[in-house]
Each structure stands twice: as C-alpha cells, then as structure tokens.
Chains A and B, each alone.
Chain A
Amino acid sequence: MSLLSTLARMEAVRDGRAVPLATVRHRHLADRPMVLVPLAAAGEAGAPLAVMLGQDRESPVLLTVPQPLDRDRRFALLADLAAELLPWLEGFGTEVDLLTREVKDPATGEKTEQVRELCTNAPQLLVPGPAAVEFLGLLGRSTRFRRSAETALDEGVDPGPYPVPARVPLLGRWLTHLRDRAQVPGSSLLLAMTDLLGRHWATGQSRLEDQHLGALLAWIDPPAGRTGAEAALLAETARDGHGQLLCPPAGPTTDPRFDSGLLAPAITRYDAARKLDDAVAAQAREAEIAALLEAVLRPTWDRLWQGLDLLRALPAAAHLPERWEGDRWSYTSHRDRIAAGEPPQPVRDDAVTAARKLAQREREQTRLDIQEALDDPLAMAEHRLAGEALAGRVVAVEAAYDETGRSPKPRPLVTVRTSDRPHGDPGRELYRAGGPTAQKAELVSADPAAGLVTVRLLNGMGRRKEPEPGSVPEPGEQVCFTLFELTARQSAPLPEPEDTPWTHGGPPVTRTATAQPDLPTAPADEEGA
C-alpha cells in the first residue's frame, strides 16, 4: 500500500466513512452487465450449489442443486447455466466493425489490404469478489474437457461413463476464457465487485477486511446514523435469532452455520423423501432448499447492484474506450477460435503461449498505470510523491534555440513552480502529460528551496524556427511532466507455438491425442460419506 492510500484510509477512520481513492471511474461498465453470484458446495472441489444471475436487478434467475453430491443434478445446473449464459455470450458475436489494415508479405514485401472483424461490443460479467472469479475458472476447468453424448457421436469416440449435457463443455471454454482475461490488468470482461470498489474508495479498515463485500459497502455507503466501522461490524457479525448472519458471505463459500443449521437438515429431508420415492414430497423439499439458497443469495445480489450504482455515479475515465477495445479484441478472438473448431484451452499453456500471456499482462499493467495517471490527478499524485512526476504552474517561458544544425530549432526553457522533487539529474528525459501533442523535455535544473523546476522542451513544436502556437505552455498554465514514458513498450517478438525451440519443450502436443477423460467425481455410493 502506498503512503497516499494509507493516508486516505486514515482519513476514512477519522470521517467514519470511506473516502475517494480515485476521482474518475477507472473500469469500463457495460450498460447492461450480467450480474452473477455463484455458491459452491463446501468440501467439494468446483461443485456448484447455486447461482443467481441476470441483467435485471428486479428479477434474477435462480439455479440450485438440492443435493450437491449428486453429479447429475450438478450437471443439470451447469446445463441450465449454459442455457442462460451462452446465448448472451454468443449474441455479441454477430455485430461487427470491419477494420482494414495493410499487411506486408514478409517474403515478397508486397503490401496487401487485410479486413478484420472486431465485435462492436463485448459481454461483461460481474461477480462479488476474486474468489468467485477463481470459482468460475474452476468450473471452466472441470467442464471444458468433458464430452457430451452428441459430440462424442460426432467424433466417433466413446463418450465414457458420464456424458455431460450438450452445451456444458462450451460454457466451460467461455468461463475459462473470461477468467483468463480477468488476469489481464485493466480488463473488464469479468470483474469482481470488491476489486472495483476497492480501487475507487479507501475504507478505514485493512485491505483484507475489504474482501467482505458487505463490510466494504458499509464503509462506502453507511446507513444513516451509523459510522462505517459500526456498519461494517454489523455486516461481518450480526446474526438473527436463529444464529444466521444478517449479511451472508458473498460466496462462493457459504457460512458454516448456515450449512449446519439450515442446509444440511434440508438436504437430509430431501434425501429421505427421495428414498421413499415420494416425488411430490421430494419436489417440495427441493423448493425449500431453493428458498434457503435464495435467501442467502439475494442480499449479495442487491449489494452488487448497490455497488454498481455507486460506481456509475463516478465520471468515466478518458481512456476507458481504448482499454475496452482490448476486451472487444479478446472477445472476438475467442469467438473466432470456437468458430474455427479449435480444441479447448489446454490445462497448461505451451511455452510460447505462456510467455505471450505474461508479456501481455506486464504490458497491460504498465499501460494501465500510465493511463490511470493521465486520467486521474489522484493517481498522478502517487507518481509525484514518488518523485516520478512533477506538476505545477508555469512562471516563466524563455525562448532558446538549438543552433547546432543548419537552421535553429526552438528549444524553449519552461520554469514551473512546484513542490515536487523529481528524482532525476539534469539532462533526464521528461514526458509532457496532457499536452496538445506528445512532447519530450529534459530536466535543466531543480531548486527545491525556491520550489522551482526548469525544463527544456525538445520536440513537438513544428518545423519552423518559432514554435507552433499552442505547442509551448504559457506562463500561468498548469503543466505536468513525468519521468516515465507515456506509452507501454512492445516486448520482443515471440515465435509461433509450432516453432517452439527444443530448449522450451518443442512444439506443443495437442491434448486430443493424449486426452484422458477426467476421473468421475464422487460416485453416488459415496453420498453422505
């Protein structure tokens, strides 16, 4: 944590409510995001218990499993989830922008025009927290390699003892892609609400406690008459007369006391009704379980929408469309991979793909840091405090020229009043933030005692002897220079996966050749074990 955010947290303690950590909204928010709250069955790996999802805050869809050990019911839930999500996910693939670019043939050097499709919009999925993102990834991992009876028939292979419903493996591939994309800094296809809120507000508690969605919102938007700390404590600990939390955990894990006090007895009753072959009673018991699960999901659902309202009240940052375009590319390329009939994402990436992903995440992190700093004075303040930027009002501009060439070039000296202390020696290259054009400068002198810094502008002033109007700041103008470059560098090119050198394991072997169907999950005879 930086000193500035620590300071903000201390102010939140003093004020009894969260304080802003950003002056603009740094993540794209779709007009109609898909909100999804998953619950997992305790003890089982990647076993869904319930999902509440939808795009309409008044009418969420609820999917539940009455007996989490029953794998048929688990896959029935995943099939229902696929029926809800896939049409929505695939729907963005139909409307596209056509982009043309010139491609140079590496062999002949001939230039040809290439037309590419970029989907006009992309889906956005919103979950309560990072644990839910991981859980969706786990669901993706557990389903994307499975075979349904239909696809097995098409491929002429044995579907194995446990074929899954038709569209479930496809859902697994989408979930895997969304979770993968969520690892890219600044991406917005799959977002966790606690991360979003934590980026924009500082609470008077630690980052660890901010993982509790209820407590986090209690600090940001405390109910009348309570301080954030009081409201957060209530959200964390308050229980009703039956010992159940008033603010259930946002998932995917449920409160153990909910499991022992309500869910386990309800499941036992359901199992008993099933054992007696009493279909009517079993259905009634199933409805009871669904009602119990809805009761613990609904508060989280409402909080997610409350969080959305709070975030929407912030003005959007200037660079959001640019970053969202990256998400649109990501969506488009996954759409294309599925359309091309490519196999599901492998368990482990091959060396080249892994290196590419890492390079991309590093590049995006740099780009995100830069863009946030340009969009938000509070983010820039972090850099100024660290001595990586300086901002202030221009007090003097002195015309000066570079006389070394054939004709003199303008190299004006700009003196700025600032208390910032850039960590650089004279001659250090600077970059002008928020100027009319991309402009470089160099540090000439810094006088911390007088609070003055002088820089020399180096370019972006046109070709004439006198600088283009507007390209040099006027006295009285607010300016900002950074010591870091304002664009992220491209990393060195990597070979195609097929050309992976032997030092890195050689070209990847496709999984289909070595695929082993996963071991079946807990068979029915293990129930209640």
Chain B
Amino acid sequence: MTIERDELGFDAPAPLGHPGRLGLPEGREVGPGVGQSLPDFALPDQHGRLLRFHEDRASARAVVVFFRSAVW
C-alpha cells in the first residue's frame, strides 16, 4: 500500500491536496508578534473560576498554549 504522505512527512488519511488538509497559509499572521503585549482575556480554570490573563498572573511570566489534544 502506498502511504499518502505530505511534504512534512506526515501520513494522511485524506487525499493530498484536499482542502481540509491545507496548512497555515504562507505569511499568515497568528496573533501578536514578539515585543507586543498579549490582549487581555478571561478564561475559566479547571475549577471553573474565571481568570483574567493580565490581572491574575501576579506579574509572573507565562506560556499561553493553543493545542488540539493533550498528548505531549
């Protein structure tokens, strides 16, 4: 069986060239750049408490991660 594989080496159940397989467009902006401030936002934590990014960080450094699944 010939494995359908994209240019990054990943095996693909969807045919190559399928619109659902399109990657991040070249030059696409993904949020603030280095040197810019992250906007303020509020999200619930694991206990359901609403946390505001800038207010509740207690002036600590932070990592804000966007991910699809949690197998790391």
Q: Report whether chain A binds chain B.
A: no
